[in-house]
Each structure stands twice: as structure tokens, then as C-alpha cells.
Amino acid sequence: MSLTTPPRTGPAITDRRVPPLGGFNTTVLGLELRRMLRNRRTLFFALVFPAALFLSFGSQSDWDHSVGNGNVAAYVMVSMALYGAALIAAAGGATVATERALGWSRQLRLTPLHPAAYVVTKALVALALGAVAITTVNLVGVAQGKPSMALGTWVACGALTLLCVLVFAALGVFVGYLVPGENAMQVLGPGLAILAFLGNVFIPMDEGSVVYKIAEWTPMFGVAEISRAPLTGDLAWGAVPNAVGWLVIFVVGAAWRMSRDTARV
Amino acid sequence: MTTTPLAGEARPPTTEPGRAALLLSGVTRSFGDVHAVRGIDLRIEPGEVVAFLGPNGAGKTTTLDMVLGLGRPTSGTVEVLGLEPREAVSRGLVSAVMQSGGLLKDLTVRETVQYVASLFPHSRPVDAVMEDAGITAIAGRVVAKCSGGEQQRLRVALALLPDPALLLLDEPTTGMDVEARRSFWSTVRRDAERGRTVVFATHYLEEADQYADRIVLVAQGRIVADGTSAEVRALASGRTVRATLPAPSLAELSALRDLPGVDSVEVRGEHVLVQADDSDAVARHLLTHTPARDLEITARGLEDAFLTLTQERPA
């Protein structure tokens, strides 16, 4: 072969670049959101169900009793928004395991997509969906007219709820690995309902009771306290350690299952 | 599938002269006590169409995984266009069509292509690639509702998005009917003619025979033959001599076995089948020293070469 004649026309391999941000981009983000919004079952349980719960619990006779800086209806609304957001974020997290089972993550490994960019995309999708769930319950609250609190309190509660949603996105990834395939939601659905009861999200428990003493250690207790703190004006000392502790446990658990799974991918 | 060229006007990127498209040196890979790949040395030049032929469990997929950086060799090195495999993947220089799976059921065909296209900074246009792969008509269909052949065309589209210099196909026509298989290969051949290097794993002998420039035969984690289809066939050299010989005596059979270059003698009813390097000597002997008639001499097919070469090494 003569070195003076180029072998073939076509770009040289040195022209090839690696994408910026590890392949993170808005097309993928948009498509991932669209996938979640297409899943009617998830949407029903994360949007319609919490709103319906709010309408029934938040309309009981004591709805206008005062709670901290607002009323009982506002307290129930914030709780239900948290429940819906947690459910949809967990469902989003569980898709990571489903995608691995389908071999999609193997397909993605044939692209420049960096695993960190993938995790960030999934976290943003969980946050966006959480925001949709929170907004839905809050809009239903506004339309119904019973919840009452200052606008600043309202916004602060919503923002804190959104932050807390990350705990459940991590839980979703973890459970997705423990319960392979598309059955993860059948564990997450009832599981989150139980955690919501124990987390004081559905019905307030008697402080000092045995159940309450146990419930204080469960994963939804801390985040519920944090989400409602701007409204109640009060934050139990164990709430933040509880939320951070469970976040760490779920992230470590998810990472542990993920790394064990890598050999198969 | 349409027979339009896969890459349209685009040309796969070229490397500097003298650099291999794929270079494997002393590659082994073990999973605990299982030695899937036991030492492979292989150099593939740009523009070659190479069949990686071998029985199930020969180490084909394990080797392709290492070329894609999905697994690391236990020892030895793998270079794709002079780069480390993950580096070549992240620059879109190597891509692959996998056996099965690897698609999200709830996305449409077009969304799937858009998803993967968005990850490559120099991706070919989505519409052009869909046209080339023959999936424009089903662009709006949800993947779950696509047939096996349609899903395979979608995988081909995904693999062609980065316009790779090296394309790997792992048993790409599994589950396709004869017509789909033929049009799939004519598409790949046309594509390869414009300079893309193609390596495909298969256990279909006729595919390797018809569509590859070069056949690399692997068995039990090693290369047992490497060459053109004719060369590989010649390695398991010899022909089969078949004749009608009713009730041959033991003396006649042992005389046949004693002829130079005879591998085996088999009696099937009224026929005798002799495998031999020197078929002329066998034919002469049969016609002159025995009452044999209706003589037939046939070259061994690739199938026989495959069986001989892959079964010679007991595990």
C-alpha cells in the first residue's frame, strides 16, 4: 500500500469526539419523561389516588382546625402530595432494574452514555414526576378551597417534599433489583402504603404509643416531618437523621445490587 | 428489508494505513473455572467481512463482548483501530447488533432511534438511518408490537447511527425466515463494499460460506482455522467416495481401510462410504479389485470441515 494515496475517502477516526456531559441531553430526558407519563397505572396511583385520598381525608369534620401556620386540610394536602410523589418516584427508580433485565442497559453501554449521566437523568425524571404529583394534589387543594396556609409556607412545603422524593427514587432502584421484572410495583405499591401509615402520612398516630415508637424509625416518618415542617412550625429532632439515614441505606443498597448485576451486563 | 445501501452517501471513518481494524493478542477470558476463551490471536484489516464461526459455547459472544469493552480479557490485549475498546465505543467507531433483547418495549421505533442518536455527537440523521434500515414505515409503532424481524432491523439502525468503522453482528439472523435472512445479508454486503469492516458471529455454516471474505473457525475458546471458505474447507481435506457394494466381505473392507490416506470406511445397507484424502486411489481400488459400481465422489462441504475441526479437540 502506498502511503501517498489515502486508502478510502471518509473522515479520519481522529475526527470522532466524545459527547459533552457524558452523553447527558434533553432528548433522552424528554423521552424518559414521556415513557413514565404513558404508563396509565403508575399515573393513576401516583396522581389520581393521592388526590382522591386528600379529598376524603381532608374533608372530615375537623378540616378547619388550626395546625401550626395553617389548618388540617393543608396538613393532609402536604401529606398526600408526599405520598403520590414518593410512589411515582419509586416507580421511576424501579425502571432501572427493568431496563437491565430487558438488556437496554447493555444497548446503552454500546453508546458514549456515562453511567453517571444515566443516573442523573433518572434522578431528574424522578424529581420531575414528583413535581407533577405534588402539583396535582396542590391544584386539587386549591380548587377545593379548604387548605389554608401562607403562600410562602405553601411553596416551602412543596419544595421540601420534592427534595424528600429522592429517598424513594433510590428505594425504587433498590426494590427494582430485589424484585426483578415488572413486579416491582406490586411490592412498592402496598409497601409504600404501609410506610405511609407508619410515617404518619394518612392518619395521625397517638404520640407515645408503641406503634408510634416503632414508626419513628420507618422511612417515611422523617421525610413527612420535614415536608410539613414549614406548616407545623415544628421539626422532631430525629426527622433529618431518619431521612438522611434511609437515603444512604437505599443508595448503598441500590449501588450494591447494581454492581453485583454488572457481571451479567 | 430494502436493498438500499445502509450508509447512503456516508462513508465509515478510515484509519491510517497499516493499522488493523481489530487486533487481539493472546486474549483469554475465564469465569472462575470456566475457560471461555483460551488464547486468541487475530488481526482483521479494514474493509474485511469476517465470519466468526463456531458451535454454541465456543467463546464467540465472550470474544465479541471483549471487543466492545463489555468484558475485560483475563489476559492479553484487545485493540479496535488502535484504541482501547471502551474508547472506540465512546467515539462511535465500533457498534454492534446483539442477538436479542436490548430494546425498550414502551418506546416507538422512531423514539428508540432518537434516543440513541442523541447520545452520539456525530450521529447520522435519524430519518436517513431509518430509511436505510427499512423501518420508516413502522416509525410510529411501539416496539412491543414489532415482529422479531422488525426489531432486528431497528437494532441494525441503532448500530448504524454512529457510522462505525467496525460493525459487529452477534448471530444477527437468528429467528429470521429465509427471505428476511437473504435481504439482511445483501444489505450488510452492500454496506461493507463501501469500506466498513464487518465481523459476524454465526453457527450457520452457509452464512459464513456465502457472505464472509474470511472465516475464523473457533472451538472451545481457540481459533482452529482461519482463511477463505475454500481454505477452511481444504483444511478438513479429503473427499467422500460412495459406491454400491452389496455384502462386502471383511477382507474387502479391511483392504479398503489399508489404502493410503483413508480416514474411515462405513457400510450403509448396499452402499459403502469411504472418507479419504486420495479419492482417486480409492476409486481405482474399488473399480478394479471389488464388484463395486455406481461410484460417486464428492468434496466435503464446509459442514464436514466444521465438524471435523471443532470435534478434534476433546474438552
- Do A16 and B115 count as a contact with CB atoms less than 8 A apart? no
- Do B119 and A12 count as a contact with CB atoms less than 8 A apart? no
Q: Does A21 touch chain B (CB under 8 A)?
A: no
Between A114 and B305, residue with greater pLDDT: A114
Q: Which residues pair with B51 in a beta bridge?
A: B200, B215
Nearest chain B Cα distance for residue A64, angstroms: 45
* Angle ∠(B204,B166,B98) on CA atoms, nearest 5: 50
Strands B262-268 and B271-276: antiparallel
Residue to mutate among A1, A9, A95, A107, with most B CBs inside 10 A, is: A107
Nearest chain B Cα distance for residue A20, angstroms: 8
DSSP 8-state assignment for residue B83:
B
Q: Are B190 and B6 in contact, with CB atoms under 8 Å apart?
A: yes
Between B75 and A70, residue with greater pLDDT: B75
Residue A5 pLDDT > 50: no
d(CA A155, CA A53): 21
Between B288 and A2, residue with greater pLDDT: B288
- Reported as a pLDDT band with limits 50, 70 and 90, residue A13 is low
- Do B14 and A107 count as a contact with CB atoms less than 8 A apart? no
What 3 state SS string does B119-155 have?
CCCCCCCHHHHHHHHCCHHHCCCEHHHCCHHHHHHHH
Query: Which of the residue ranges A171-175, A179-183, B105-109 has the most confident prediction, judged by mean pLDDT?
Result: B105-109
- Reported as a pLDDT band with limits 50, 70 and 90, residue A32 is very high
Instruction: Tell me the chain A residues in contact with residue B152 when contact means C-beta distances shorter than 8 Å.
Output: none
Q: Are B176 and B147 in contact, with CB atoms under 8 Å apart?
A: no
Nearest chain B Cα distance for residue A88, angstroms: 17
Output the CA torsion B253→B259→B261→B263 (10° steps): 10
Residue of chain B nearest A17, judged by CA positions: B91
Q: Does A4 touch chain B (CB under 8 A)?
A: no
- Sequence spans of domains, chain A: 22-264
Q: Does A31 touch chain B (CB under 8 A)?
A: yes
Q: Residue B9 in 3-state DSSP?
A: coil
Residues of chain A with pLDDT > 70: what percent? Answer: 91
d(CA B109, CA B150): 9
Residue A260 pLDDT > 70: no
Instruction: Tell me the chain B residues in contact with residue A11 when contact means C-beta distances shorter than 8 Å.
Output: 11, 13-14
Per DSSP (E only), the strands in B150-221 are 166-170, 197-202, 214-219
- Do B120 and A13 count as a contact with CB atoms less than 8 A apart? no
- Do A107 and B120 count as a contact with CB atoms less than 8 A apart? no
DSSP 8-state assignment for residue A234:
-
| CATH 3.40.50.720 is right for the domain spanning B238-299 | no
Interfacial A residues in 102-141 facing B (CB < 8 Å)? 102-104, 106-113
Q: Does A40 touch chain B (CB under 8 A)?
A: no
- Would you tell me which CATH number, out of the four given (3.30.56.10, 3.40.50.920, 3.40.50.300, 3.40.718.10), belongs to the domain B22-234? 3.40.50.300
Q: Residue A259 in 3-state DSSP?
A: helix
On whether ipTM exceeds 0.95, the answer is no
The CATH 3.40.50.300 domain(s) of chain B lie at 22-234
C-alpha distances (whole Å) from B111 to each of A34, A111, A118 are 10, 16, 17
Instruction: Tell me the chain B residues in contact with residue A7 when contact means C-beta distances shorter than 8 Å.
Output: 14, 17, 46
Instruction: Tell me the chain A residues in contact with residue B14 when contact means C-beta distances shorter than 8 Å.
Output: 6-13
**pLDDT tens digits for chain B (315 residues)?**
444 444 444 566 666 667 889 999 999 999 888 889 999 999 999 889 999 988 888 889 899 999 998 888 999 999 999 999 999 998 999 999 987 778 999 999 999 999 999 999 889 999 999 988 889 999 999 999 998 888 988 999 999 999 999 999 998 887 778 888 888 888 788 778 878 999 999 888 788 888 899 999 988 889 988 998 878 777 766 788 999 988 888 888 899 888 888 888 888 888 999 988 888 889 999 999 888 989 998 877 666 777 777 765 444
The CATH 3.30.70.100 domain(s) of chain B lie at 238-299
Q: Which residues pair with B297 in a beta bridge?
A: B241
What was the pLDDT predicted at A6?
Answer: 36
What was the pLDDT predicted at B154?
Answer: 93
d(CA A71, CA A149): 7
Per DSSP (E only), the strands in chain A are 66-67, 70-71
Instruction: Tell me the chain B residues in contact with residue A31 when contact means C-beta distances shorter than 8 Å.
Output: 107, 111, 114-115
CB pairs under 8 A between A and B: 121
What was the pLDDT predicted at A120?
Answer: 84
Q: Residue A69 in 3-state DSSP?
A: coil
Cβ neighbours of residue B280 closer than 8 Å, sequence gap 6 or more: none
Q: Which residues pair with B69 in a beta bridge?
A: none
What was the pLDDT predicted at A12?
Answer: 61
Q: Residue B55 in 3-state DSSP?
A: coil
Please name which of B218, B164, B174 lies closest in space to residue B51, comparing C-alpha atoms.
Answer: B218
- Do A17 and B68 count as a contact with CB atoms less than 8 A apart? no
What was the pLDDT predicted at B189?
Answer: 82
Mean pLDDT, to the nearest integer, of A52-73?
A: 82
Residue to mutate among B79, B119, B126, B151, with most A CBs inside 10 A, is: B119
Residue of chain B nearest A107, judged by CA positions: B102
Of B96, B105, B195, the CB nearest to A8: B195
DSSP 8-state assignment for residue A132:
H
What was the pLDDT predicted at A63?
Answer: 81
Residue A232 pLDDT > 80: yes
Residue B164 φ then ψ, to 5°: -70, 155
Q: Are B191 and B172 in contact, with CB atoms under 8 Å apart?
A: no
Of B14, B95, B100, the CB nearest to A7: B14
Q: Residue A130 in 3-state DSSP?
A: helix
Residue with cell 386549591: A142
Residue A132 pLDDT > 50: yes
Residue A38 pLDDT > 90: no
d(CA A174, CA A157): 27
What was the pLDDT predicted at B237?
Answer: 67
Residue B135 φ then ψ, to 5°: -120, 15
Strands B34-44 and B49-53: unpaired
- Reported as a pLDDT band with limits 50, 70 and 90, residue A57 is confident
Lowest mean pLDDT among A15-19, A146-150, B148-152: A15-19
What was the pLDDT predicted at A105?
Answer: 84
